[in-house]
Amino acid sequence: MGFLGRALRASRGPSIPVSSSAAAGLFGSTAVTDAGAEIAAQPERALRFSAVYACVRLISEAIGGLPVDLVRTKGRFREQLPDHPVASLVADVPNPEMDAAELWRQTVGWKLLRGNSYILPEFDARGRWSALWPVPPTRVTPARRTDGRLAYVVRLAPGEYAGTLARETDVVLDPTELLHFRAFGLGVIGLSPIGQAAEAVGLGLTAEEYGSRAFQQGSKPGGIIKSQTKLTDEQWQRLRTRWKEMHQGVRRSHLVGILEDGLDWQDTGMSNEDAQFLELRRFQVADIARIFGVPPHMIGDVERSTSWGTGIEAQGTGFVVYTLMPWITRLERVTRMRLLTSPADRGVKIRWNVDGLLRGDFRARMAGYALGRQWGIYSANDVAALEDLDPIPGGDTRLVPLNMGLIDENGELATTPAEVAARAALLNRLGAFTQPASAPEAPEQ
């Protein structure tokens, strides 16, 4: 729908009653603590927990930094379409305010936090896509019309901008007018990973606050003071005050303690409670990594062994395949379904290219390219393109081993007529050299 249609619809309000029951309360949070309820109500607050911030940043920036291609499939061959009208929007400049990397980082980040993200596409005067605008998921309410069809009620707040979309009024959009990217879910809206794990995130934040307050206000220097005699109230208060002045707070930690006559220091070491607190902090990092499907070692938890493979290459491949690809697949399918609607776009796909993330080290890549060249899979220019190098003249020729041939279904050597003729000529020549010479004729008597 163009600018005029949206403006008219916004001016008179929703012409069809819309029920929001499909969007409200379907997947309510099960948080029971104050910290969990706070996170469930505002998932962005979970970014205060370093493990959550690390996971969201890692996934969103990894996907946002990938090149995006438009490819047309023709049988077994693929053709790049850099001049397609949609190509520049998804790969370079989606709108005048941001680049494509920023758009996709924001889109994926919203999905990771709230389970849903939205993009509003815009038309130009010729009816072609001209811009892609991100819409905050807090401003969109998926709903059902009275006839059961899905719709989206969008209401931008003052100061927010999404192209020609009206602000401070309800605008009802059809699914074809809005790109809706869902996280894992069981209905028309995606589940918020943070909302479903609000208690785990709240526990991590509470543990951080507990540790911070313990260091800030704690006066426990790791031991106790024993007196050989009973202290008077005045002596006890004096000792307590002086010890607190000398040792309370992180800035006074590890100072030398001075004990008077009759007082002994007994080191208590780390208590079981302290050990459990440290173990809880380590467990919460792994727990958050599990929520987002991120290998713990990629957000700094290197104490545990990983089952993601041995070596950086194998672990990186596992991260791409098991963590990034599900999010990327959703981006590819929604953008294709909503942006490539013309009959001329049949066979065209939008692809996030992860080849760069899957590349091995230099030696492994060169060995793979050598095998590909040897067996005719790659040409020299194919390898150059994979390494982002310029093509070379005559580099499109593929090599085929001389000792290889095609075998037909009968197990016989299959050749073209030209090859058959050449082989027959060669055998004839070889036969002339191998036939026994005839005996000379006897002279006539």
Query: Which of the residue ranges 22-26, 295-299, 343-347 would you say has the lowest mean pLDDT?
Result: 22-26
Q: Does residue 341 form part of some domain?
A: no
Q: Does residue 410 form part of some domain?
A: no
Average pLDDT over residues 40-64: 89
Q: Compute CA 146 distance to the chain's CA centroid, rounded to the nearest angstrom.
A: 37
Cα–Cα distance, 240 to 234 (Å, whole number): 10
pLDDT at 91: 92
What pLDDT band is residue 401 in, cutting at 50, 70 and 90?
Answer: confident
pLDDT at 108: 96
What pLDDT band is residue 114 in, cutting at 50, 70 and 90?
Answer: very high
Domain that holds residue 231: 200-205+216-287
Global pTM?
A: 0.70
Residue 28 confidence (pLDDT) above 60 = no
Q: Does residue 78 form part of some domain?
A: no
DSSP state of 66: S
pLDDT at 350: 94
Q: Name the CA radius of gyration of the chain, rounded.
A: 35
Query: Which of the residue ranges 53-57, 271-275, 363-367, 376-380 would you say has the lowest mean pLDDT?
Result: 271-275
Q: Provide DSSP, 258-310.
A: ---TTEEEEE----HHHHHHHHHHHHHHHHHHHHHT--GGGGT--SS--SS-S
Q: Does residue 234 form part of some domain?
A: yes
pLDDT at 428: 63
Residue 329 confidence (pLDDT) above 90 = yes
Quick: pLDDT tens for 239-291.
Answer: 777 777 766 655 655 555 656 666 666 665 545 455 555 666 677 888 888 88
Q: pLDDT exceeding 90 applies to what percent of the chain?
A: 23
Cα–Cα distance, 184 to 193 (Å, whole number): 9
Q: Does residue 112 form part of some domain?
A: no
User: Of the ranges 12-16, 143-147, 413-417, 441-445, which is most confident?
Assistant: 143-147
Q: pLDDT exceeding 70 applies to what percent of the chain?
A: 65
CA angle, 29 as apex, 277 and 207 as ends, to 5°? Answer: 15
Cα–Cα distance, 217 to 49 (Å, whole number): 21
Burial of 48 (0-12, 13-18, 19+ CB in 10 A): middle
For 31, phi then psi, to 5°, come to -65, 135
Name the domain count of the chain. 1
pLDDT at 232: 76
Q: Compute CA 194 distance to the chain's CA centroid, rounded to the nearest angstrom.
A: 16
pLDDT at 334: 95
What pLDDT band is residue 214 in, cutting at 50, 70 and 90?
Answer: low
Q: Does residue 134 form part of some domain?
A: no
Q: Which helix (H) or strand (E) holds 428?
A: helix 417-434
What pLDDT band is residue 89 in, cutting at 50, 70 and 90?
Answer: very high
Beta carbons of 112 and 56 less than 8 angstroms apart: yes
For 349, phi then psi, to 5°, come to -130, 150
User: Of the ranges 313-327, 389-403, 429-443, which is most confident?
Assistant: 313-327
What pLDDT band is residue 216 in, cutting at 50, 70 and 90?
Answer: low
pLDDT at 25: 40
What pLDDT band is residue 115 in, cutting at 50, 70 and 90?
Answer: very high
Beta carbons of 327 and 294 less than 8 angstroms apart: no
Q: Does residue 274 form part of some domain?
A: yes
What pLDDT band is residue 330 in, cutting at 50, 70 and 90?
Answer: very high
Burial of 23 (0-12, 13-18, 19+ CB in 10 A): buried
Beta carbons of 114 and 39 less than 8 angstroms apart: no
What pLDDT band is residue 27 in, cutting at 50, 70 and 90?
Answer: very low
Beta carbons of 112 and 193 less than 8 angstroms apart: yes
Beta carbons of 56 and 113 less than 8 angstroms apart: yes
Cα–Cα distance, 404 to 398 (Å, whole number): 14
Residue 166 confidence (pLDDT) above 80 = no
Mean pLDDT of the chain: 76
Residue 445 confidence (pLDDT) above 90 = no
Q: Does residue 343 form part of some domain?
A: no
